[in-house]
A and B are shown apart, each in its own frame.
Chain A
Amino acid sequence: MPLKSPDELEQLRTKILEERKAQGEKKGIVLCTGTGCRGAGASEVFDAFKKALGKKSAIEFKSTCCHGFCERGPITIVEPLGIFYQGVTPADVPQIIAETVTKGQVIEKLLYRDPATGQTIPTEKAIPFYTKQNRLVFGNNRHLDPTRIEDYMAMGGYKALVKALFHMSPEEVIEEIKRSGLRGRGGGGFPAGRKWESCRKAHGDIKYVICNCDEGDPGAYMDRSLMEGNPHSVLEGMLIGAYAIGSSEGYVYVRNEYPLAVKNVGIAIEQATKMGLLGKDILGSGFDFSLVINKGGGAFVAGESSALMASIEGYVAEPRAKHIHMTESGLWERPTNLNNVETWANVPVIIEKGADWYASIGTQGSKGTKIFSLVGKINNTGLIEVPMGMTLREIVYDIGGGIPGGKRFKAVQTGGPSGGCIPESLLDLPVDFDELTKAGSMMGSGGMIVMDESTCMVDVAKYFMHFLKDESCGKCTSCRDGTLRMYEVLDAITKGKGKEGDIEFLEEIGWMTAEASLCALGGSAANPVLSTIRYFRDEYEAHISAKRCPAGVCTELITFTIDPKACIACGKCRKGCPTEAITGEKKVPHKIVQAKCIKCGTCREVCPSDAVKVA
């Protein structure tokens, strides 16, 4: 039965909470079955728990989506003590139930071990990865079964919607969002309140709101995890936005490569509709709003707002000129307000806790928190949520746990494929929209790829140019051919065919690509090249002049040799070599036959005595 008033909603919430209270502090197991943990085998662990617990178990078993610490998945938390187990396998399940759940005993081997101290840490709360975070938006994932609206209700869900619908005018909602300083989390960083305001003021019989869940950056999955793990928070944000703008129809554009996100947001829409939180006359307020899911076809450029709208309209995802703003003439030429998943999910928090409280977090120009996907050469891979303005150093070392294998930090690439690389000298940079732009990179949607000394920056630029030349929509000559030609020049440089003047040539193509292209993809496409030239020019020069790759990555510029003094003649490299290029016997130092070597690096990886040298 649909809820007809805010009172009915509160009654339902009270009922849910009382039922839970009556059950007392229940022993429980929380298992992350988000996409990351599933990749690590969480589905099998889920089945094992289900089987072991049976149907009538007194133990509450909850499957949630992403908690963020993906490096350690599958993650299991035993309540009420909050014992944190990592890398759980189906074989561990009986022991977890018998010892931890039943007797409260901790299983040492499943605990997280702090690489810095070597000590095990029994509870989630005490793990350094979590302690420095401020998980305003992302934190609820850990407590929610995303397929149960009751879980969201129990945590105060849809309270902000009631506040907006019944205690605030649309203008007041917009004013609150403006005062909060919320900026779009999708890449552009445009002030959300101002966008809403111009859409509200635009003339149109129908207005649309859109949620952009077309996250396409390699290595970034913030929006996926929010959509999978807490879809109702996104819906609530959209409802509030639609009310403020005067829209009654909305779209969730989610890429089809995110099957779990598609599924969970579908379930959430269905549940919200059944409860009367979507549809006609929501909670008796007179406000109507309905949502449709549009599955994306997988082009990176479809995440660009005008291309996304073209895609919804059934056309190829191709950006169009925005001399007339989307808020005036967007989807089907009607006023349209598009924000990404994370932006929408921030809205209920702001409405509930107030703009002043929200604006107290962050920096002068960037308020609130930001979710980043911290990946690459970093110990604690995963999703983190930190207040704006935290330094890169804190993110990489305190939360990320530093670089694996004691290697040296080299750079962090932020902002997705068309972001830039920030060097070690800027590790104390406070991370916010404006500082990242000043450093020649950008916030983008929040990707952070950490690179260590074994990363070649020319190779990195080449990788991103390859991605962009494939993913440019191909319309503008400047972007399509600019990215292709930058890739060609970089490819030549990494193969020892670089020429004097190539760096300047790259700068010239990059400038033109950025200045002459239509959309933001072209406008930022040169960043990987220009930022690596800016901070790592010496590496480019080494490739071009000395035909040398300082990081030992570009295969055509390096030679592998075995240091006979360091070689312990164990034979591991000889066995591992795929082309049988290594000769040697027991007690005789090994040698690499250069003519046969394909420079795959296997010998260096397997060598226990660090005897394989690259030059």
Chain B
Amino acid sequence: MSHKKELIKFQIDGLTVEAEKGQMLLPAALEYGFEIPHLCYHEAVSPYGACRLCLVEVTKGGRTMMTTSCNYPVDAGLDVATNTENVQRARQMILELLLARAPHSEKIRAMARDAGVEETRFRVIEDADDCILCGLCERVCREVVGANALTFVNRGDRREVAPPFGDPIACIACGACVYVCPTDCIKMKEEGDERTIVRWKRTLKMQPCQSCGKPFAPVFQLNWIIERAQLPKDFYALCPVCRKTKKG
């Protein structure tokens, strides 16, 4: 069943590169080692184009436009410039905007420094909680986990990510959102036999391992997986560590 991949040739910063048809510009450029800053892109989920940091200038058919590279499909004959004066100017302003939203994020501070931005001229948003609305948590929850526990709420400057109707009932506390969040604004803590995803106010009881007795994952999560994957009811009787030692 191997059919030949269609490769497309185009230029990035003067270098001729190849990428598979249908691929987006950003991952293709990253593969070649071009450095394009990005925050809302993650290879595990579909591109979204929210943070606007991965801007590049694309010339196609004699027309040049600034566009995000994460959701721009590669095309034969494209001429891509990753670091023009316009790109730098726009990126610096975007970083200033992000700094005012996520003043505690070390990652954004470092990105800003790399782009020559030391501080933001904007008022830091009151009670800034570092969320930059990149939507990675929402996408990973919907596309990868399949729990659909998160959604965007409101629009404009009142936009936020939250459990639908404010109720985290669908959250399985798996922590995928914690893992992908680029600004570490979603925290997870485990105390005793409880796991909490702090941002979504979701606390679930964890299942103790039948062998070692240590709580290892939320009961709700394990049952959810068992049901969806049609696994035997006692599939998760053991914690990952005991399971390995037992099998080994």
Cα of A472 to Cα of B50 in the assembled complex, Å: 13
| Residues A518 and B156 in contact, CB atoms below 8 Å apart | no
Q: Which of B141-191 contact A (CB under 8 A)?
A: 151-152, 154-159
Complex interface: chain B residues within 8 A of A482 (CB):
97
Cβ-defined contact, A472 with B156, below 8 A = yes
Q: Is B240 an interface residue (CB 8 A)?
A: no
User: Are the C-beta atoms of A474 and B90 separated by less than 8 Å?
Assistant: no
A255 within 8 A of B: no
Contacting residue for B133 out of A474, A485, A508, CB 8 A: A474
Interface presence of B98 (CB below 8 A) = yes
- Stretch of B11-19, B65-73, B205-213, B223-231 that contacts chain A: B65-73
Q: Is A517 an interface residue (CB 8 A)?
A: yes
**A300 → B minimal CB distance (Å):** 9
The yes or no answer to A71 lying at the interface (CB within 8 A) is no
Check if A478 sits within 8 Å of B155, measured CB to CB: no
A509 touches B49 (CB 8 A): no
In the complex, whether A516 has a CB less than 8 A from a CB of chain B is: yes
Chain A hits for B86, CB < 8 A = 515
Contacts of B122 in A (CB 8 A): 481, 485, 488
- Is B201 close to A, CB under 8 A? no
Is A558 engaged at the interface, CB distance under 8 Å to the other chain? Answer: no
Q: Contact at A477–B155, with CB atoms within 8 Å?
A: no
Distance of A517 Cα from B55 Cα, bound (Å): 10
A518: chain B residues at CB < 8 Å are 49, 52, 68
Given contacts A481-B101, A485-B122, are A516 and B156 in contact (CB under 8 A)?
no
| A515 in contact with B72 (CB, 8 Å) | no
Is A516 a contact partner of B55 (Cβ separation < 8 A)?
A: yes
A476:B50 contact, CB within 8 angstroms: yes
Contact A478 B90 (CB under 8 A): yes
CB distance from A83 to the nearest CB of B (A): 49
Spot the interface stretch: A229-237, A316-324, A396-404, A431-439.
A316-324
Q: How does the 8 Å CB contact mask read for A447-469 relative to B, with 1 for contact and 0 for none?
A: 00000000000000000000011
Judged by a CB distance under 8 angstroms, whether A480 is at the interface is: yes
- Evaluate whether A321 and B49 lie within 8 angstroms (CB atoms) in the complex, with A470-B156, A478-B94, A512-B94 already known: yes
> Closest CB-CB distance, B159 to chain A, in whole Å?
3
**1/0 per residue B51-80: CB within 8 Å of A?**
111010000000000111001110000000
Question: What count of chain B residues pass the 8 Å CB interface test?
Answer: 36
Q: Are B152 and A474 in contact (CB under 8 A)?
A: yes
Q: Give CA–CA (A574, B50) in the complex, Å.
A: 55
Residues in A with CB closer than 8 Å to B159 are 473-475, 480
Is B121 part of the binding interface, using a Cβ–Cβ cutoff of 8 Å? Answer: yes
Q: Judge whether B29 is part of the interface by a CB distance below 8 angstroms.
A: no
Minimum CB–CB distance for A191 against chain B, Å: 17
Give the residue name and chain of the B residue nearest to A522 (CB).
B52
How long is the Cα–Cα vector from A482 to B97 in the complex, in angstroms?
8
Q: In this assembly, does A65 line the interface, its C-beta being within 8 Å of a C-beta of chain B?
A: no
Q: How far is the CA of A518 from the CA of B71 in the complex (A)?
A: 10
A424 on the B face (CB < 8 A): no
Complex CA gap A509/B94 in Å reads 9
Besides A477-B51, A483-B156, 20 more A-B contacts (Cβ < 8 Å) are A316-B152, A323-B73, A469-B157, A470-B157, A472-B157, A473-B156, A474-B152, A474-B154, A475-B48, A475-B135, A476-B49, A476-B50, A477-B50, A477-B97, A477-B133, A512-B89, A512-B90, A512-B94, A515-B90, A516-B52
Binding site for B on A (CB under 8 A): 299, 301, 316, 318, 321, 323-324, 468-478, 480-485, 488, 505, 508-509, 511-512, 515-518
